[in-house]
Amino acid sequence: MARAVTLFTGQWADLPIETMCQKAQEFGYDGLELCCWGDHMEIDKADQDYCNQRKALLKKYDLKLVAISSHLVGQCVADKIDERHKSILPDYIWGDGNPEGVRQRAAAEMIKTAKVAKMLGLNTVVGFTGSPIWHLLYSFPPVTAEMVEKGYKEFATRWTPILDEYEKLGVKFALEVHPTEIAFDIHTAHLTLKALNNHPAFGFNFDPSHFGYQHVDYVKFIYEFPNRIFHVHMKDAYWSDKPMHVGVFGGHMNFGDNRRYWNFRSLGRGKINFENIIRALNDIKYRGPLSVEWEDSGMNREAGAKEAYNFVKFVDFEPSNIAFDNAMQKE
């Protein structure tokens, strides 16, 4: 049976949830990965009745609910908080903006998010973690090994109590490995698992678009963490083969500016090799959803979402249950 092709609603949160359901059905999707912003999944309102209503709404449009995602609040659990975060947080999490208060309220919200997932009958929450050491990425002024180690310890101190609650509930947290997070490539993903003592509730949302332009081997990532890939985002990216006006750090240019070295692109229009990704996912026996996170500043999103669904249906395939050369051998 082919994997479900779902649509992450994070880039569509300006639309009411029912409008989003209508469009996803029209585009052909099997289900949704609901973001926890806009009115798609409101954690502060989500009691059992609310969750039942959400499930009924998706059922009305013949859509599965596969996961909920809390990238924005999750980002604030372990981040260095400043005015950037105010624009992505609900007022009740931001409060007076005191950084430690923001982090504590964000942590409480992430625990409640796991409880909401449980009420919805889900076992996966996707999101970000934030990072107390992302600002140390470029090692000047010189960054010591002790500073990095301290950052991972702080991350673990903040996230382990959250993950303990996830484990009690039978829910897993899938970090989208991504620049600005505690894990943004293969090495830092290993460091993150080590810091958490391989916590059973913690794993990854695999999104190759964040690896490609960094020149990180995204297929190797699948084989490195076969038991920790809890969810998959299908998203493409393009990067230049020649020197550009702006390099890999982005030059403070907005996404979509074609003078950048790299940009996200609609599926099939970038450089990510999805054929090899599907073969690797088959090898590790990943049977979860393939969730389209549609991002392309240069393309109409409705046209892109329809095209992306068809692309995933084409590129995904089941593994063989027989060796092709068996028929050539004597019994």
In angstroms, the CA 234 to CA 111 distance is 26
In angstroms, the CA 168 to CA 52 distance is 22
Model confidence pLDDT, tens digit, residues 208-267:
999 999 999 999 999 999 999 999 999 999 999 999 999 999 999 999 999 999 999 999
Average pLDDT over residues 310-323: 88
What's the pLDDT at 129?
Answer: 98
Structural domain includes residue 97: yes
Average pLDDT over residues 22-27: 98
What's the pLDDT at 321?
Answer: 77
In 3-state terms, what secondary structure has residue 230? strand
Strands (E), the chain: 5-8, 31-35, 64-70, 124-127, 172-176, 202-206, 229-234, 236-239, 262-265, 290-292
Identify whether the C-beta of residue 280 lies closer than 8 Å to the C-beta of residue 294: no
Residue 20 predicted with pLDDT over 90? yes
Structural domain includes residue 330: no
In 3-state terms, what secondary structure has residue 35? strand
In 3-state terms, what secondary structure has residue 83? helix
Domain that holds residue 115: 5-318
> How do beta strands 236-239 and 262-265 pair?
antiparallel
φ, ψ dihedrals at 255, nearest 5°: -55, 145
Model confidence pLDDT, tens digit, residues 49-64:
999 999 999 999 999 9
Structural domain includes residue 239: yes
Structural domain includes residue 328: no
Q: Kindly state the tokens that stand for 8.
A: 């992450």
Average pLDDT over residues 175-184: 98
In angstroms, the CA 3 to CA 222 distance is 17
Structural domain includes residue 188: yes
Average pLDDT over residues 67-72: 98
Model confidence pLDDT, tens digit, residues 286-299:
999 999 999 999 99
Average pLDDT over residues 95-118: 98
What's the pLDDT at 325?
Answer: 58
Structural domain includes residue 327: no
Residue 36 predicted with pLDDT over 80? yes
Percent of the chain with pLDDT over 90: 95
φ, ψ dihedrals at 230, nearest 5°: -95, -15
The total of structural domains in the chain comes to 1
Structural domain includes residue 176: yes
CA angle 245, 274, 173 (to 5 degrees): 95
DSSP-assigned states of every residue in 168-226: HHT-EEEEE--TTSS--SHHHHHHHHHHTTS-TTEEEEE-THHHHTTT--HHHHHHHST
User: What is the overall mean pLDDT for the chain?
Assistant: 96
Q: How far is CA 34 from CA 12, 125, 320, 325, in A?
A: 10, 10, 32, 44
Polymer length of the chain:
331
What's the pLDDT at 303?
Answer: 97
Domain of 253, CATH number, reads: 3.20.20.150
What's the pLDDT at 331?
Answer: 65
φ, ψ dihedrals at 70, nearest 5°: -125, 75
Strand partners, 70: 127
Q: Kindly state the tokens that stand for 244.
A: 């550009």
Q: What is the residue whose two structure tokens read 């409640």?
A: 112
Contacts 24+ apart (CB under 8 A), 259-262: 261/213, 262/212, 262/213, 262/237, 262/238
Structural domain includes residue 295: yes
Model confidence pLDDT, tens digit, residues 259-289:
999 999 999 999 999 999 999 999 999 999 9
